[in-house]
Amino acid sequence: MLDIKALKIAIEQLETERRIGREKLIDAIEQSLAAAYKKEYGKKGQVVRSHIDLDAGSVSFDQVKTVVDDSLVYFEDETEDKDEADEREAYNEEKHILLEDARIIKSDAQIGDEIVFNLEPKDDFGRIAAQTAKQVIIQRIREAERGSIMEEFGSKEGDIVSGHIQKVDRGNVFIDFNRATGVIPPADQIPGEHYNRGSRIRGYLYHVEESPRGINLKISRTHPKFMEKLFAQESPEIANGLVEVKSIAREPGARSKIAVYTEDPNIDPVGSCVGQRGVRVSTVMNELSGEKIDIIEWSSDPEEFVRKALSPAKVLEVVLDEEEHKATIEVTPDQLSLAIGKGGQNVRLAAKLTGWKIDIKGSELPAEEVAETPEGEDFKPLSELSENNENAEASTETEAPEATEEKLEEVNEETQ
């Protein structure tokens, strides 16, 4: 006999541990009992349903028949005349009931309705029927659990998730989220990072997919959105939408540029990301393994935006070619290597940030004739904001070798 008391305890445990709804669990058990009843006592084609009353401690079984007419089914004497294009199914008295017969039982019966007949209660099932019930309930619980996980993590797609490193296998980092496992592919890992088993790690959940083997969570630590979400956690102005992140250009683990904007004249968009004494941006940099971050103010004027994107270098002139979407930049000789950056990093990131191809040329004007841009107007060096923050010291200083004509041409080709 079915122990209803033990069943109630099992349902409560599954509901708590696996976060599966009570209704889904009861439905799974009812389907398993119906499958066992049909296996032991049912007939071919018969549709059996069961109903559990936990309060009364009873189980009932019903046979369900669908109301049909000759437009939906055909009879044995019509088999020879049946056309291949005829989509009607064969009439089965165990699952079908004709409309005229159904209306004897239910006067307002219509085609497609279900007529329910009570079956004799049974609580003694054979070994095969019990095994069938077990397989059905396991399958249904797994399906319910998978649906619950999809619902939970589907709502987190496009956000930061946190878990523990389970293992590192063939370059892939597997993260345990208790109910699901995520993976950080090599392409989504920050170069130079070391992953230790059991360590806590955060990442950007960019894809949730359901496969025959379970729920797959794709995590990234190099995605530009990961940086944006980190700033949103540190800066209330970004989280509330007062400051908008317009664009991000990243070379993960090395350097990034982020353009921010606000329509509120009383808010400093750059300052809201930097924080008091650089505490906000330093927190983000630490999460990204010391990645240097240049924060600039976005401008709707392409010329001004390109000029700011090349910070900390000071630009003499910006000439835009709208047809080729190309910006020709002129700087003084002493600013040339700073504008290009180490290995062309600064100009490469500026091109990604603005979306313009950038060609840098050195000016013949002496440096003392160049009008200086007030420090901090469009770029804030973190070293001045926090004297004790070692991570912030070099974020706006690019040590670049003196540029040669060959190197300059090579970098310009990369950005184009």
Q: Which tokens belong to 11?
A: 């349902």
pLDDT at 2: 58
Where is the domain boundary, 104, 121, 152? Answer: 152
Q: Which segment of 83-92, 112-121, 304-313 scores lowest on mean pLDDT?
A: 83-92
Residues 171, 139 share a domain: no
Residues 327, 275 share a domain: yes
Q: Which tokens belong to 287?
A: 């999460």
Q: Which residues contact 18 (CB under 8 A, 6 or more apart)?
A: 141, 145, 148, 179
Residues 297, 228 share a domain: yes
Per residue in 5-28, pLDDT (tens digit) is 777 787 888 777 777 788 888 888
* pLDDT band, very low/low/confident/very high, at 397 (cuts 50, 70, 90): very low
Where is the domain boundary, 97, 121, 152? Answer: 152
Please tell me the total count of domains within the chain.
3
Average pLDDT taken over every residue of the chain: 82
Residues 259, 399 share a domain: yes
pLDDT at 4: 66
For residue 57, pLDDT beyond 80: no
Mean pLDDT, residues 360-386 taken together: 49
Residues 148, 22 share a domain: yes
Per residue in 326-341, pLDDT (tens digit) is 999 999 988 899 999 9
Residues 161, 78 share a domain: no
Tell me the torsion sign for CA atoms 87, 93, 99, 102: negative
Instruction: Encode burial over 194-209: b for 16+ CB neighbours within 10 A, e otherwise.
Output: eeeeeeebbbbbbebe
Per residue in 189-210, pLDDT (tens digit) is 999 899 999 999 999 999 998 8
Residues 286, 198 share a domain: no
For residue 303, pLDDT beyond 60: yes
For residue 124, pLDDT beyond 70: yes
Residues 198, 283 share a domain: no
For residue 415, pLDDT beyond 70: no
For residue 357, pLDDT beyond 60: yes
Cα 381 to the center of its chain, rounded Å? 33
For residue 48, pLDDT beyond 70: yes
* pLDDT band, very low/low/confident/very high, at 380 (cuts 50, 70, 90): very low
d(CA 57, CA 18): 24
Residues 387, 333 share a domain: yes
Q: Which tokens belong to 249?
A: 């250009």
For residue 377, pLDDT beyond 50: no
For residue 370, pLDDT beyond 50: no
d(CA 289, CA 263): 32
Mean pLDDT, residues 113-125 taken together: 84
pLDDT at 210: 80
Where is the domain boundary, 117, 152, 187? Answer: 152
pLDDT at 258: 96
* pLDDT band, very low/low/confident/very high, at 400 (cuts 50, 70, 90): very low
Query: What stretch of H or E contains 32?
Result: helix 22-41
Mean pLDDT, residues 140-154 taken together: 83
Q: What is the CATH number of the domain that holds 275?
A: 3.30.300.20
| More confident call, 360 vs 85 | 360
Q: Please give the residue range of the domain that contains residue 212.
A: 156-220
For residue 278, pLDDT beyond 50: yes
| Percentage of the chain exceeding pLDDT 90 | 45
Residues 167, 148 share a domain: no
pLDDT at 215: 83
Residues 263, 182 share a domain: no
Mean pLDDT, residues 35-59 taken together: 84
| More confident call, 91 vs 364 | 91
Beta-bridge partner residues of 53 = 58
pLDDT at 3: 63
Q: Which tokens belong to 280?
A: 């906000």
Residues 338, 365 share a domain: yes
